[in-house]
Amino acid sequence: MTSPHPSNANPPSTASSSPRSPEERSGDATRERILDAAENVFAKQGFHGTSLRDLAEAAGVTRSLIHHHFGSKEGLWIAVADRLFETYRAWQSSILREGAFGIEGFEESIRQFFLFLESSPNFVRLRAWTNAAQSAETPHRDLALLGVDRLRELQACGEIRSDIDPASALIGLFNLVEHWFQARTTLENRLGETLPGNHEFLEDLVRILIRGIRPCDGET
Amino acid sequence: MTSPHPSNANPPSTASSSPRSPEERSGDATRERILDAAENVFAKQGFHGTSLRDLAEAAGVTRSLIHHHFGSKEGLWIAVADRLFETYRAWQSSILREGAFGIEGFEESIRQFFLFLESSPNFVRLRAWTNAAQSAETPHRDLALLGVDRLRELQACGEIRSDIDPASALIGLFNLVEHWFQARTTLENRLGETLPGNHEFLEDLVRILIRGIRPCDGET
DNA sequence: ATCTGAATTGGCCGGCCGGTCAACCTCGAA
DNA sequence: TTCGAGGTTGACCGGCCGGCCAATTCAGAT
């Protein structure tokens, strides 16, 4: 954003903490309000299932204002996706970089990723929409490949069985956790009370995956 | 001004531009043709991303004809989904009922399900859309619960470790396979040539899952 | 030959879509 | 006090949407 006067970058009214103030004329606050509302609506209805009028009503603003701040419906969608994905990227990066090494680090990654998705239903649903549309999406090759490298190191140390591709293990981890939340509604319909709770499933999943990728006794 | 005399205003009888096939006047054949085309378009673009005009053009018919045969856009969507889902149901049923017993039967189920999804990309994509929309969908509780029972029997025989919920194992199986195909495009962007091929991933997946759910030596 | 009913068509409708525009409001800088 | 820039609004546009309908075609029964 090009600002003609960057020297004085104070918030306009210092004590505007009241959330429902009708004199909220701050562009930044309005942007945030639109983003928050759009995130919920887009996550629920997808891009094509959502109209600009839906978004304007949810945010309590006029259509023109959305266009003023985000240029177009697609611009708003991208802004929503970028914000959600940036949160995710930061999370994943911290998991991969500061996570403990060894097989315990792998287990911890599963739990962390599970808890993150559990706390971000909008992210899960937006991912489901982009999955269905098979949209290009930002690559993040670096982080994914970093994860594969981590597993490859573990494999070299004999912590992971040698007869599987580390990429398969990584994909399995991410797919299992992500699809658990994406398919939860469908699974509830099909399994009813037989469906495990979130934490029960997480523990079973960790048990299965950890034993599944470890070498057998005496195996290198 | 619109002419209020529709009786003989503009006779379009002379020289119809597109010569339709003379024998193609069978209602059933047309229905099938519309269903086939709609399956491809819906799978690619989803319900809200597809217009009746898209569908008519893809099927080579007029909009009115679609309305005549299926009542509405939603009726066509449901017809497409029903046809795909019925194929899937028959498959799953045969897998669960005639599949070999024992842990080999479980392994065989993974492979069968994998091959089925590999051969039905439209089914995979339609499932992705319904997942994202979290639409109700037909329950099929019976088949899912039958699978859980199968695994519970195996667990009682000591073929499956006792410290996991059979439902978790079943969900893991289905989620892994289905999400592999649903997320394949995204994974290609992220992993590039590091992404395993279909069959390599299937074999790794079987290895991980089978060892992951088996009891340890000496364990009941 | 005639009738009949389903298959099929083009044209039309009201309504919603995303987007644009000129104006208005508000407030801080000059 | 003036001024201007950004925030905000409502009205408006052309176009596409799903759906509806009267008219036409045609295969097969009578």
**Least confident span in B19-28, B62-71, B144-153:** B19-28
- How many CA atoms does the CB half-sphere of A54 hold within 13 Å? 16
User: For the residues of A24-90, what is the DSSP string, one character each?
Assistant: ---HHHHHHHHHHHHHHHHHHHTTTT--HHHHHHHHTS-HHHHHHHHSSHHHHHHHHHHHHHHHHHH
For the purposes of burial, counting CB atoms within 10 Å of the CB of B193, is it exposed (0-12), middle (13-18) or buried (19 or more)? Answer: exposed
Predicted pLDDT of residue A21: 41
**A179, A191, A211 member nearest B167 (Cβ):** A191
What is the least distance, in Å, from the CA of B174 to any CA of chain A? 9
- How confident is the model over A190-210, as a mean pLDDT? 95
Predicted pLDDT of residue B5: 34
Residue of A nearest to B131 (CA): A183
- How confident is the model over A8-18, as a mean pLDDT? 31
Task: Report pLDDT digits (tens) over A123-170.
Answer: 999 999 999 999 877 767 778 888 899 899 999 999 999 999 999 999
Q: Among all strands, which nt has the closest C1' to A4 (CA)?
A: D5
Regarding predicted confidence, which is higher, A102 or A23?
A: A102
User: For the residues of B37-55, what is the DSSP string, one character each?
Assistant: HHHHHHHHHTTTT--HHHH
Q: Please answer whether residues B183 and A139 qualify as being in contact, where contact means their C-beta atoms are separated by less than 8 angstroms.
A: no
Task: Report pLDDT digits (tens) over B145-157.
Answer: 888 998 999 999 9
A204, B176: Cβ pair inside 8 Å? no
Predicted pLDDT of residue A27: 76
Among A172, A113, A128, A170, residue whose Cα is nearest residue B110: A172
| Chain A residues near residue B201 by CB distance under 8 angstroms | 165, 168, 171
Strand C: which bases are under 7 Å from protein Cβ?
A: 6-13, 16-22, 26-29
- How confident is the model over A63-83, as a mean pLDDT? 97
| Chain B residues near residue A133 by CB distance under 8 angstroms | 45-46, 49
Predicted pLDDT of residue B13: 34
| Chain B residues near residue A132 by CB distance under 8 angstroms | 46, 125, 128-129, 131-132, 182
Predicted pLDDT of residue A206: 96
- How confident is the model over B20-47, as a mean pLDDT? 86
Q: How far apart are CA A23 and CA B85, in angstroms?
A: 54
A212, B207: Cβ pair inside 8 Å? yes
Q: How far apart are CA A192 and CA A183, in angstroms?
A: 13
Regarding predicted confidence, which is higher, B21 or B158?
A: B158
Which two three-digit tokens encode residue A145?
Answer: 């490949």
For the purposes of burial, counting CB atoms within 10 Å of the CB of B163, is it exposed (0-12), middle (13-18) or buried (19 or more)? Answer: exposed
Predicted pLDDT of residue A100: 63
How many angstroms separate the CA of A4 from the C1' of C21? 25
For the purposes of burial, counting CB atoms within 10 Å of the CB of A6, is it exposed (0-12), middle (13-18) or buried (19 or more)? Answer: exposed
What is the least distance, in Å, from the CA of A101 to any CA of chain B? 21
Predicted pLDDT of residue B117: 96
Regarding predicted confidence, which is higher, B38 or A97?
A: B38
Among A58, A13, A12, residue whose Cα is nearest residue A34: A58
Q: How far apart are CA A131 and CA A148, in angstroms?
A: 21
Tell me, what DSSP letter sits at residue B34? H
- How confident is the model over B33-59, as a mean pLDDT? 98
**A49, A180, A185 member nearest B175 (Cβ):** A180
Regarding predicted confidence, which is higher, A171 or B97?
A: A171
Which two three-digit tokens encode residue A190?
Answer: 């099909």
Q: Which domains does chain A have, with CATH numbers?
A: 21-213 (1.10.357.10)
